[in-house]
Chain A
Amino acid sequence: MSIATTPTGIGIAEAAARPKRGLGKLVARLLVYGLPTVMILLPLVSFLASSFLGQDNGKPTGGLTFANYAAFFTSSSYLYVFFGTLKLAFTVALISLFFGYILSYLIWRLEGSARYLLLLLSALPLVMNYVVKIYAMRSILGFNGFLNTMLLSLGIIEVPSRLFIFNQTAVMLTMAVIYLPFGILPIFLALERIPQSLISAAADLGAKPGQIFMTVVLPLSLPGSIAAALFVMVIALGDYLTPQMVGGSEGFTFGRAVWSQFGMAFNWPFGAALAVMLLLAVVALIALASLISRTARVR
Chain B
Amino acid sequence: MSLPERITVTLLWIIGTITFAVLYAPAAIVILLSFVGVKDRKLDWSDLSLQWYGKFASNSQLIDALSNSLIVGVCAVVIASTISVGLAYYMKTGARAGRSYVEFVIFLPFVLPAIITGISLLIAFRQVGIERSLITVTAGHVVLILAVIYRMVTIRLDALENSQIEASLDLGANSWETFVHVVFPQLRSALLTSSLLAFALSFDETLVTFFLVGGETTLPMRLWAMMRTGFTPEINALVSVVLCVTLLFAALAAMSLRESIERKS
Is there contact, CB below 8 Å, between B106 and A135? no
A222 at the interface (CB under 8 A from B): no
Asked whether A41 and B105 contact (CB < 8 A) given A1-B93, A1-B94, A46-B120, the answer is yes
A interface footprint on B145-166 (CB within 8 Å = 1, 0 otherwise): 0100000000000000000001
- Docked complex Cα distance between A195 and B90 (Å): 36
Is there contact, CB below 8 Å, between A47 and B120? yes
- Docked complex Cα distance between A173 and B58 (Å): 35
Is there contact, CB below 8 Å, between B109 and A238? no
Which residue of chain A lies nearest to B257 when distances are taken between CB atoms in the complex?
A120
A42, A102, A130: the one within 8 Å of B220 (CB): A130
A137 at the interface (CB under 8 A from B): yes
Is there contact, CB below 8 Å, between B105 and A50? no
Is there contact, CB below 8 Å, between B223 and A136? no
Asked whether A131 and B227 contact (CB < 8 A) given A47-B124, A102-B16, A136-B27, the answer is yes
- Docked complex Cα distance between A146 and B43 (Å): 10
Is there contact, CB below 8 Å, between A278 and B116? yes
- Docked complex Cα distance between A255 and B16 (Å): 31
Which stretch of B1-9, B45-53, B70-78, B187-195 is in the interface?
B1-9
A interface footprint on B105-131 (CB within 8 Å = 1, 0 otherwise): 110110111111001111110010000
What does DSSP make chain B's interface, helix, strand, loop or mixed?
helix
What does DSSP make chain A's interface, helix, strand, loop or mixed?
helix
Is there contact, CB below 8 Å, between B207 and A279? no
Q: A residues touching B (Cβ–Cβ < 8 Å)?
A: 1, 4-5, 28, 31-33, 35-37, 39-44, 46-47, 50, 99, 102-103, 105-106, 116, 120-122, 124-125, 127-133, 135-137, 139-140, 144, 146, 149, 177, 180-181, 208-210, 234-235, 237-241, 245, 255, 258-259, 262, 268, 271-272, 275, 278-279, 282, 286
Residues of A near B220 (CB, < 8 A) are 129-131
- Docked complex Cα distance between A208 and B9 (Å): 14
B231 at the interface (CB under 8 A from A): yes
A interface footprint on B36-57 (CB within 8 Å = 1, 0 otherwise): 0000011000000000000000
A234 to chain B, nearest CB (A): 6
Of listed A35, A135, A258, A272, residue having the most chain B CB within 10 A: A135
- Docked complex Cα distance between A220 and B65 (Å): 47
Q: In residues 229-265 of chain B, which contact A (Cβ within 8 Å)?
A: 231, 235, 239, 242-243, 246-247, 249-250, 254, 258
Asked whether A36 and B102 contact (CB < 8 A) given A122-B23, A130-B204, A131-B227, the answer is yes
